Structure 1
Amino acid sequence: MNGFVFQAFVYLLAAVVSVLVAKRLGLGSVLGYLIAGVLIGPVLHLVGNETEDLQHFAEFGVVMMLFLVGLELQPRALWEMRAKLLGLGGLQIVATAALVMAISMMLGQAWSVSLTVGFIFSLSSTAIVLQTLGEKGLLKSDGGQSSFSVLLFQDIAVIPMLALIPLLALPELSHLLQSAPGTAGGHETARLLEGLPGWQITIITIAAVSFVVVAGHYLSRPIFRVIAASKLREIFTAAALLLVIAIALLMTLVGLSPALGTFLAGVVLANSEFRHELESDIEPFKGLLLGLFFITVGASINFALLWANLALVVALTLCLMAVKVAVLLVLAHLFRLRGSDKWLFALGLAQAGEFGFVLLSFTVQNAVLPQELAAILLLVVALSMMLTPALFIVLDKVIMPRFDRQQAEEADDIAEPAMVIIAGLGRFGQIINRVLLANGHKTIVLDYQADVVEGLRKFGVRSFFGDAGRPDLLHSAGLAEAKLLVVAIDDTDRSVEIVRHARRENPDLHIIARAFDRNHVYRLYQAGADDIVREVFDSSVRAAGYALTALGMHPYEVEKSKAVFVRQDRAGLRQLAPLWKEDVPVFNNAEYIAKAKEINDLLEAAMLGDRSALYDKTERGWTPPDVLAAEKG
C-alpha cells in the first residue's frame, strides 16, 4: 500500500508511538521523531521516495516556529539583543567557517569547495535547538537567549551564502548546472529578480521588508478585527495561516529567507491584541510540521552509503561537532556566559542545521560540490542533528552535576551579609525587593542569570550571581543570622529544597515562598515555609472582585467577601496539607477529598448564608467607623 491515507497513517503512528516512548525514557521529543523516521524509512521501508519532497514541505514548520518566537519578543527586546545578534552570531559564522575551511583544505579540497563546506557547517539547527530549549524551559536563560541570537543571525546569513555560492562553481562540474534538480523548500534564488541591476534588487528587497513591517503594524489589526467580528474560529485560523504563508511567499520572491521574514512579522505583531490568538492557532500546525520534518530527516538517511563510509562519516561528524563546541566555548567566554549557560550554548549549537540540506542541494545544482561529496556531507549533517538530543542528555546527566560542584568557585563572594535574603530576581522577586528597599530594609539578592545581576547592580541593587540552592552560598549570604528568606524562584523542586535546608539550618527564620499550584503549596508547607504565595491566587481574587462589582455588588461588600474567601481558603489549605500525599494523586486520596468537600461546604455557607457573625469575628477592620457606631448605639 502506497496511498496517501496509508502514508499518513504510517507517519502519524510512528510519531505518536516513538515520541511517547522517548519522552517516557527522558530522551525528548526531537530524538523520538528522529528514531521514528529511521524506523519507518531505512529499517522497515514503509516510506519511499516521497520523503524528500515531504521534507521540503515540512521545513515550513521552521518558518512557523520563528513566527511564534517573534510573537514572544517585543521590538525593544530585539533591539537590546543587537550586541549578541551581531557579535555572537557574526563571530560564530566567521570563526566556524574559517576553521572548517582550513581543515577541508588540509584534507586536499579546493579552496572554493572548502569555503562552501565551511558555510554549510557553520549553521546550526534552529528547529532542534529551539524545540529542545522550549521543552526544557531554557529559552529565557542567558544560554538560551545567546543560542537564539546566533540562530537568528545564521538565518540571516543564509541570504548572502545563497548569493555567493554560485560564484564558487567548479569549471569541471559546470555541465551539472543544467541537469541538477532544483532547490526546494522555499529558499531558492528568486527568479523574479534575475537580470535586474544590483541597485534595483536592493530597493525591492528593502521595500519588501518595509512592507512587512508597515503592514504588520497598521493593516493587520483592522483586518483581524473584521475577521474576529465574524466569530468564526476557523476563518481566524485560516487568516493566521494565510498571514504566515503570504509573508513567506513574499520573502521567497525577493530572495530572502522566509523564516527571517515571518520572524520579523512576529516581532511587529508582538504588541498586537491578537497576539495570543495567533499563537494558539499557529502552534498546532508548527508542532506537527516540525515533527514531520524530524521524521523525514531520520527517514532520508542513506544507510547503505553510511555503512560503506562509516568510519569517514563518524570521524567527520565528531570533528565538526568538536570544532563548533571549541568555537562556541571561546565565544561564551568572550561574552561572559558562565556556568551552565556556557555549556548549554556550546553543546546546544554543536550540530549542523536543516539549512544544510538546502545549501547542499543548491551547491550541487550550481556545480560547486561534486555529487559524491555532497552525499557524504549530507550524512554528516543528518548524523550531527541526530546526536544533538544525546548532547542535551549528557548536559543534564553528566556536565551539570559536575558544574554544580564547581559553581562555588564561580559564584560571587558576599562580604557583607544581610538580615533579608531573596532567592531569585525575576518579575516576582523584583517587586518584593523594591518594596523592602523602599521601606528601608537591607537585602541580599541571589540569582543565577549573570546579565540580570549585572544590570541590577547598575541601579544600585545588591545582587550576586549564584545558585541559591547551594548551601554554601546561602550561608555566605548570612542564612544563620537572617530574619527573613524569600524564595522567589520558579523551579518547584529547587525551591522546596531551599526551604527545607533553610528551615533545618535556621529554625527561627521566617520563610516566604512562591508556589506554582496547590501541590507545590503542600510540598513547601511540609518543607517548613511560613507564608506561601500562589503565583496567580491574589490576582485571581482581584479579578473575582471586579466581576462581583460588575454584577452590581457594592464595593464594600465585595471587599468583605474577598477577605473572607482568602481567609477561609488559607485555613482550608492548612487543614488539607497534612492529608496530602506526594505519591498519591489527589483524585485517589479519599481522605483528602472528604475534607475538601467539608471545607467547600463551610466556605459556601459562610459566603451565602448568615455572614454577619463571621464578618464581626474576622473582618472588623473592613467595617467603616459610622457602621461601628451604629452597631454600638
Structure 2
Amino acid sequence: MTGYFLYAFIYLVAAVIAVPIAKRLGLGSVLGYLIAGLVIGPVFGLVGDETTTIQHFAEFGVVMMLFLVGLELEPRSLWAMKSKLLGLGGLQLGLTAALITAAAIALGQPFGVSLTIGLIFALSSTAIVLQTFQEKGLQQTEGGKSAFSVLLFQDIAVIPMLALIPLLAIPELASSAAEHGSSSESHNNLSLVEGLPPWGYGLVIISSVAFVTVGGHYLSRPLFKFVASSHLREIFTATALMLIIGIAALMGLVGLSPALGAFLAGVVLANSEFRHELEANIEPFKGLLLGLFFITVGAGINFGVLSDNAVLIAALTITVMLVKAMVLYVIAVVFKLRESNKWLFTLSLAQAGEFGFVLLSFASQNYVLPSNIISVLSLVVAISMFLTPGLFILFDKAIMPRYQGSKTQREQDTIDEQGSVVIAGIGRFGQIINRLLVANDVKTVVLDIRSEQIDLIRRVGTKAYFGDASKPDILHTAGAHDASLLVIAIDDKDTAAEMVKYAKHAYPNVKVLARAFDRGHGYRLRQLGADYVVSETYHSALEMGAEALRSLNIHPFHVERQKMAYKNIEDQQNDMLYKAWIDDASGERIDNNYLKLFIELESLIKNALKADLHDKHSKMRGWTPPPKGYAEKLEHDEIPDNE
C-alpha cells in the first residue's frame, strides 16, 4: 500500500512542478504533463513497470472527456454534422489508412500487418487535441469544428476496426503463442460475446446500444431527480461517476469502445436539465485523469528500444506525421477551409492517437502483429503525441501572426461592477437598447468580444467590458445571477442559442431578451426559453416599407394603418406558425403544414392591407400624424459597426 502512495506522490509532484512551468512558458499543459512523465520515467527512473497499469486506469479520462463532449451535442446537432463527419472524417481515415498500408507493403510487410498499421496510424489523439482546443479557445473556429468532426468519426470507426483486426490474425503467431502457453492471457478479460456466433454478437451489440440510448433518456431523469432531492453534492457526483463507469464497463463487456459508449450517453443526456450539474461534477475528474494519462505516455517511452532503433523510429514518426499532414491539407483545400483554419486543421491532427495503444494491445492479443513491431509502433505513437504540442506552438507563433499581422490577443477586462441588466453585444443593435436603459437610470453591464468595438464605444463615454459573455464564468462575474434582465444582442446564431439555453437553466429567475436573425432562429430561441425574441430586421424592414409608401405620396395616416394591420396579423399568426415549427420532427422545421400556414399568413396580411380605411379606424384612434420635421429631429449618428 505504501508503494502506491509513493508512486502517486511522485506523479503528483511531477505534475505540480512541470505543468505550471510549461504553461508559463506558453507550451501548454499537455506538453507539461508529457515532460513530467519523461522526467520521472526514462530520465530518472523514479517509476517503472507500473506505468502501463496506471495508463489503463488513466485512459478512463478519455472516456470522461468524450462523455462531456457528448453533453455538448444535441442529437439534432449531431445529425446536422453528418456531411462533415462522413466527408472530412471518412476521407481522412480512408486516405491515410490507404497510403500508410501501401507504404508498409512496399517495405515488405504482409497485407494483414500493413492494414493494421494503416488503421492504427490513421487515428489522431482526441485527448490532446480537444484539451488543447479548450485551453486555447479554438473550439468554435472553423478549423476547430472541422477537426472535431474528424476526431468524432475516428472514435466511431474504432468499433469496426476492433471487429476487423481479429480477422487479420497471423496463424504462425497464434500457434507459437499456443506452444508457449501464452494464449490464456487473452482470456483474462471478461466478455459477454466470447464464443457467440456472428448474429448473436450483433444482437448483443444492438441491444447494448439501445439500452444506453433508451435507458439514458427515460431512466436517468428519475434517477437524477431522486438523487438531487437528497441535496448531497457528493452523492450526485457518485451517481455521475456510476453512470459513466457502468456504461464503460458494459461497452467493454460487449467488445465495444468504452469511450464511444460514454459519448453516446452524453449525446442522449445533452437535453437533460441536469446537464450542467453533470459537467461541473465530472470536469475535475476528467482533467486529473487526462493529465495522468499524458504523464504515463511520457513515462512509457522505452529508451532501450528507442536507442536500438533510433533511426527507424525517427523515420517512421516523421513519415507518419508528414503523410497525415499532407492528407489533411488536401482535404482542407477540398472543403475550402481558409487562412489559419486550414493550417489549424492540418497541424492539430497530424499525430497518432491514444486509441493506437488500444488497437496495438488488441492486435497483440489476437496475434495480428509480432511483439517487435508492436514495441516500435508504440514508440512512434507516443513520440508523435509528444510532438503535438510543438505543432500547436508552431501554429501560434509562426502561422497565426501571418493572418493577424501584429495584432496580439487581448486579455479580458476585469468586471468591477454589476447592474440590473446585462447586455451581451454592443453593436448597432445593443447600442440602442443600452441608450434607452441608461437614459432611464437603469444600471447596465455591457459585454462584447470585439476589442475594437469596445474601444470605440468607450471613446463616446459608454462604459463597456471586453469579455466573452457566452462563457459561464464571465456571465456570472457580470452579475447575471442577481440581474433582472439578460439582453442577448450578439451576432452569432449558435452562440446566442447556447446562451439562452444556459441562462434559462442557470438563472431561471432572470428574464432573457434575445435578438434573432430570422423567423426560424427566433423560434429556436423561443424553444430554448427566451422570454422575448425580436428579429433584427423585422421593425427596420417594416419602417422601410412604410417610408416607401410615404415616398409614393400615400397619406401618412393610411401608412400607419397599414403598419398596424401588418403587425396585428403577424402577432396573431405567430403562435400558430411556432407550434407548426415545433411539431415538425424532420430537423428542417419546414414541412407541408408549416408551409400551408405560412401561405395563409401571407394571404391574411394581403387582405388586411387591402381593407378599407374605416374598417380599422377605431384601432387607430390614438394615433395622429407626426408634426412636420419630426423624423429629422430623431436622426442621430450611430456608432459604426462591422456586424
Give the TM-score band, short-chain normalised.
Answer: 0.5 to 0.7
Aligned residue identity for 2:451: V
* Identity between Structure 1 and Structure 2 (%): 61
Aligned residue identity for 1:515: F
**Map of 1:516 onto structure 2:** 467
Question: Measured at CA, do residues 390 and 232 of structure 1 come closer, stay the same or move farther in structure 2, by a change above 3 Å?
Answer: same
Question: Whole-Å Cα distance in 1 between the matches of residues 123 and 297 of structure 2?
Answer: 16
**Map of 1:403 onto structure 2:** 403
Question: Whole-Å Cα distance in 1 between the matches of residues 201 and 431 of structure 2?
Answer: 55
Question: Whole-Å Cα distance in 1 between the matches of residues 354 and 208 of structure 2?
Answer: 25
Offset of residue 182 of structure 1? 4.8
**Map of 1:326 onto structure 2:** 326
Report matched runs for 1:326-345 at 5 Å. Answer: 326-345=326-345
Structure 1 unmatched runs, 5+: 408-426, 437-486, 519-532, 551-633
Contact 1:499–1:511 under 8 Å retained in 2: no
Number of residues paired by the alignment?
Answer: 453
Question: Whole-Å Cα distance in 2 between the matches of residues 389 and 102 of structure 1?
Answer: 29
Contact 1:177–1:365 under 8 Å retained in 2: no
**Map of 1:56 onto structure 2:** 56
Contact 2:447–2:468 under 8 Å retained in 1: no
**Map of 1:316 onto structure 2:** 316
Q: Deviations over 1:216-261 (max 9, x none)?
A: 1111111111111111221111111000011111111222111111
Aligned residue identity for 2:466: A
Aligned residue identity for 1:541: A
Partner of residue 483 from structure 2, selected from 520, 541, 550: 541
Contact 1:183–1:361 under 8 Å retained in 2: no
**Map of 1:390 onto structure 2:** 390
Question: Whole-Å Cα distance in 2 between the matches of residues 18 and 82 of structure 1?
Answer: 40
Q: Deviations over 1:252-309 (max 9, x none)?
A: 1222111111111111111111111111111111111111101111001001211222
* Structure 1 position 496 matched with structure 2 position 448: no
Question: Measured at CA, do residues 40 and 272 of structure 1 come closer, stay the same or move farther in structure 2, by a change above 3 Å?
Answer: same
Structure 2 residue matching 1:270: 3-state secondary structure: coil
Question: Whole-Å Cα distance in 1 between the matches of residues 160 and 356 of structure 2?
Answer: 14
Question: Whole-Å Cα distance in 1 between the matches of residues 143 and 115 of structure 2?
Answer: 28
Q: Deviations over 1:475-509 (max 9, x none)?
A: xxxxxxxxxxxx9862xxxx335665x699xx9x9
Question: Measured at CA, do residues 180 and 16 of structure 1 come closer, stay the same or move farther in structure 2, by a change above 3 Å?
Answer: farther
Aligned residue identity for 2:135: E
Taking only aligned residues, the RMSD between alpha carbons, in angstroms, comes to: 3.2
Question: Whole-Å Cα distance in 1 between the matches of residues 425 and 457 of structure 2?
Answer: 20
Contact 1:347–1:392 under 8 Å retained in 2: yes
Q: Deviations over 1:158-203 (max 9, x none)?
A: 111111112112233223444268579xxx9973212323222222
Question: Measured at CA, do residues 86 and 371 of structure 1 come closer, stay the same or move farther in structure 2, by a change above 3 Å?
Answer: same
Question: Whole-Å Cα distance in 2 between the matches of residues 176 and 191 of structure 1?
Answer: 24
Question: Whole-Å Cα distance in 2 between the matches of residues 536 and 99 of structure 1?
Answer: 52
Structure 2 unmatched runs, 5+: 408-422, 433-445, 470-474, 487-503, 510-643
TM-score (norm 2): 0.65
Question: Whole-Å Cα distance in 2 between the matches of residues 534 and 189 of structure 1?
Answer: 47
Q: Deviations over 1:523-582 (max 9, x none)?
A: xxxxxxxxxx999467843169x9xxx9xxxxxxxxxxxxxxxxxxxxxxxxxxxxxxxx
Question: Measured at CA, do residues 141 and 323 of structure 1 come closer, stay the same or move farther in structure 2, by a change above 3 Å?
Answer: same
**Map of 2:85 onto structure 1:** 85
Structure 1 residue matching 2:270: 3-state secondary structure: helix
Structure 1 residue matching 2:79: 3-state secondary structure: helix
Question: Whole-Å Cα distance in 1 between the matches of residues 361 and 15 of structure 2?
Answer: 27
Aligned residue identity for 2:39: L
Aligned residue identity for 1:496: S
Contact 2:102–2:114 under 8 Å retained in 1: yes
Question: Measured at CA, do residues 45 and 183 of structure 1 come closer, stay the same or move farther in structure 2, by a change above 3 Å?
Answer: farther
Question: Measured at CA, do residues 366 and 406 of structure 1 come closer, stay the same or move farther in structure 2, by a change above 3 Å?
Answer: farther
Question: Whole-Å Cα distance in 1 between the matches of residues 49 and 315 of structure 2?
Answer: 28
Structure 1 residue matching 2:45: 3-state secondary structure: coil
Question: Whole-Å Cα distance in 2 between the matches of residues 405 and 98 of structure 1?
Answer: 39
Offset of residue 50 of structure 1? 0.7
Question: Whole-Å Cα distance in 2 between the matches of residues 498 and 537 of structure 1?
Answer: 22
**Map of 1:164 onto structure 2:** 164
Aligned residue identity for 1:308: D
Contact 1:66–1:262 under 8 Å retained in 2: yes
**Map of 2:287 onto structure 1:** 287
Question: Measured at CA, do residues 25 and 489 of structure 1 come closer, stay the same or move farther in structure 2, by a change above 3 Å?
Answer: same
Question: Whole-Å Cα distance in 1 between the matches of residues 190 and 159 of structure 2?
Answer: 11
Contact 2:67–2:263 under 8 Å retained in 1: yes
Q: Deviations over 1:82-108 (max 9, x none)?
A: 111122111111100000011111222
Aligned residue identity for 2:367: A
Offset of residue 351 of structure 1? 0.4
Aligned residue identity for 2:101: M
Aligned residue identity for 2:467: F
Contact 1:269–1:275 under 8 Å retained in 2: yes
* Structure 1 position 258 matched with structure 2 position 258: yes
**Map of 1:298 onto structure 2:** 298
Q: Deviations over 1:42-82 (max 9, x none)?
A: 11111111110110110000000111111111222111111
Question: Whole-Å Cα distance in 2 between the matches of residues 5 and 139 of structure 1?
Answer: 37
Contact 1:58–1:289 under 8 Å retained in 2: yes
Aligned residue identity for 1:115: L
Question: Whole-Å Cα distance in 2 between the matches of residues 121 and 376 of structure 1?
Answer: 13
Question: Whole-Å Cα distance in 2 between the matches of residues 183 and 130 of structure 1?
Answer: 32
Contact 1:177–1:366 under 8 Å retained in 2: no
Contact 2:457–2:463 under 8 Å retained in 1: no
Contact 1:175–1:367 under 8 Å retained in 2: no
Structure 2 residue matching 1:46: 3-state secondary structure: coil
Offset of residue 348 of structure 1? 0.5
**Map of 1:6 onto structure 2:** 6
Question: Whole-Å Cα distance in 1 between the matches of residues 368 and 146 of structure 2?
Answer: 32
**Map of 1:558 onto structure 2:** none
Greater mean alpha carbon deviation, residues 191-200 or residues 305-314: 191-200
Aligned residue identity for 2:329: L
Question: Whole-Å Cα distance in 1 between the matches of residues 368 and 117 of structure 2?
Answer: 10
Contact 1:189–1:255 under 8 Å retained in 2: no
Question: Whole-Å Cα distance in 2 between the matches of residues 538 and 228 of structure 1?
Answer: 24
Contact 1:92–1:331 under 8 Å retained in 2: yes
TM-score (norm 1): 0.66
